[in-house]
Structure 1
């Protein structure tokens, strides 16, 4: 799930950069890209992948 959100943020960052849209400092293409990289790192680390149930095997 976090990987999909990161991909969407990368696409938004690309559109901001490619269209040369003037935004404020908070939503610049670099900041959106860095948020996407942070979400991608969390995805690779396994955060947000769901519950891990460890049942006993008999």
Structure 2
């Protein structure tokens, strides 16, 4: 899920950069890229991978 959010941020950063849209410093293409990279790092470390099952076997 975090990888999808990062991809969306990369697309937004690309569109802002390609159209040379004047934006505030918070929404600059560089800051969006850094947030996207942080989300990809979290995804790679397993933070957004989902829930793991609690037990390996069935309960009796």
Matches within 5 A, 1:13-52: 13-52=13-52
Q: Which runs of 5+ in 2 are unaligned?
A: none
Please report the TM-score for the alignment, with normalisation by the length of structure 2: 0.88
Query: 1:1-58: CA deviations, max 9, x gaps?
Result: 0001100000000001000000011100000010000001100110011111141437
Number of residue pairs matched? 58
State the distance in 1 between where 2:42 and 2:49 align: 10
Please report the TM-score for the alignment, with normalisation by the length of structure 1: 0.91
Q: Which runs of 5+ in 1 are unaligned?
A: none
Give runs of ≥4 in structure 1 deviating > 6 Å.
none
CA-atom RMSD in angstroms: 1.3
